[in-house]
Structure formats: structure tokens, C-alpha cells
Amino acid sequence: MEKDDGSKGKPDFYVTYNNSGINNKKQMIGKVVIEVKSLVKNTGQKNEKFLKKLEEERKKSNSDFAILVTELEPEKTFFIEKDKNIEYRNIFIVRDQFLELVLDIIHEFIKKKAEVNKLQKVFKDKKIIIEEFEKFKENMLNNSLKHIESNLEIILKKASDISKASKAMQDSINIILNTHLSTVRNKIISYDILKVTNNIEQAQRLQDFTYEEEDPQLELEFKDETQEE
């Protein structure tokens, strides 16, 4: 990967892919131009705004592909995206954590392209070879990526549903922790031991009073028995 010299209007990086040529000399088989857009410097901008200029630079530098590594439009949930405009079919729009993956994919395509170029020297019908490769490339870059993006959207929706369910569970937990446990705590705090001891004392006095009323009867019965004798 080569960083650009910083000239105004130039892309940020170029990536070149090489094969060993004659006498083990490096032979360039492909090139990628990379533009990086941060949210800090481009707040409120859309990714599509930069595609035209990036495509022009791709053609000017004879690059096979271009990559827009972007933090823009953070509300969008894509990871790897291609613009619907066929004019930008060789541009990838990616989040930074997927740049390495996209570069690996492009590397594989460029290696296949190098093989196709070799076959052209052997077979007479070059047009058929090129057309087959282009069909393969478009199928992989468009249909496969759409399938991946669709599956990612399904997973993200499920993750969102799980997140909502998790939040509801957390809210219930918070109610139990904050409300119910607070109620228990308050009941413990308001528990009046003096009130209990007062109740015990009242019960004891009532029992003593009952006992005092029963004693004279016992004494009277005892005296009556003595007189009879």
C-alpha cells in the first residue's frame, strides 16, 4: 500500500498487486485506489457525493477497483456496499473494519484476471473468455454482496429484537431491584421493635390479671373443704 504525496484532490492510498515475472522481477497485475472519509471532517455529507470523483481517479490511475472507506452516514447499517449506479460498478463503499477483507477479495479477482490474460494468448476466442470472466465478476460483486447484505440485515433485525427483549427484561429486573427491594428495605426500616415489646407487655398484664381472678376461687374452695371436715 502506497500513500499518496498529499496533493490536493488526490486519493489517500494506492494498492498494487504483483506477480513474479521473468527473472523473478515483480510484474504489476492490478491496482486499487482508496479514498478515506472521516465523520469529523465531512459531517453531514453523503457517500455518493464522492463517487464521481473517485471513479475519475480510478480511470485516470488505471486502477481496477476503487474503495471508499467511510465513516459517513453512520445511521446506515451497511458494512460493504456497492452503489446502484452501474457507472460505479467498480467502486466498493466500506466501513474501515472491512477494508482488509475487501482488499483480499479484490486480490483474488485480480489474480484470476491475470490468469485470463494468459489464456488469451493461448486461445483464439478471446472475447468468450473475457465475457465469461466479466459475468463471473459481476455475479460475485453484485449478487453475492446483495445476498450477504440481505442476510446481515436479517441478523441485525434479530439482534435488535433481542436487544429490545433484553431491555424489557432489564427493566423488569430494575423494577424488582429498585421497587420491590426498596419496599422490603423500607419495611425493615419501619419495623418497630418497641411496638412488639409493648404488645408482649400488654399480653403479659392480661395474663396476670386473669390469674389473679382465678386464685380467690381456689382459696375459697380450699376453705370450704376444711369446714366440712
Task: Tell me the pLDDT tens digit for each residue of 59-76.
Answer: 999 999 999 999 999 998
CA-CA distance, 86 to 134, in Å (whole number)?
14
In terms of phi and psi (left: phi > 0; alpha: psi -120 to 50; beta: otherwise), the region of 85 is beta
Residues 147 and 88 in one domain: no
Residue 75, in any domain of the structure: yes
- In the chain, the number of structural domains is 2
Residue 178: is its pLDDT beyond 80? no
Q: Write down the pLDDT at residue 108.
A: 86
Percent of the chain residues topping a pLDDT of 90: 24
Output the CA torsion sign for 49, 54, 60, 63.
negative
Q: Which residues pair with 3 in a beta bridge?
A: 13
Find where cell 485516470 sits: 60
pLDDT band at 218; cut points 50, 70, 90:
very low
Whether 171 maps to a domain, the answer reads: yes
In the chain the first and final C-alpha atoms are separated, in Å, by: 130
Label residue 109 by pLDDT band (50, 70, 90). Answer: confident
Residue 113 belongs to a domain: no
Q: Are 92 and 6 contained in the same domain?
A: yes
Q: Is 31 within the bounds of a domain?
A: yes
pLDDT-derived band of residue 222, with 50, 70 and 90 as boundaries? Answer: very low
Position 110 in a domain: no
In-domain check, residue 165? yes
User: Cα dihedral angle (143, 149, 154, 159), rounded to 10 degrees?
Assistant: 160
Domain membership of residue 117 (yes or no) is: no
Signed CA dihedral, 39, 52, 8, 58: sign only: positive
- Do residues 138 and 89 both lie within one domain? no
Residue 115 lies in a domain: no
The residue range of the domain holding 133 is 123-209
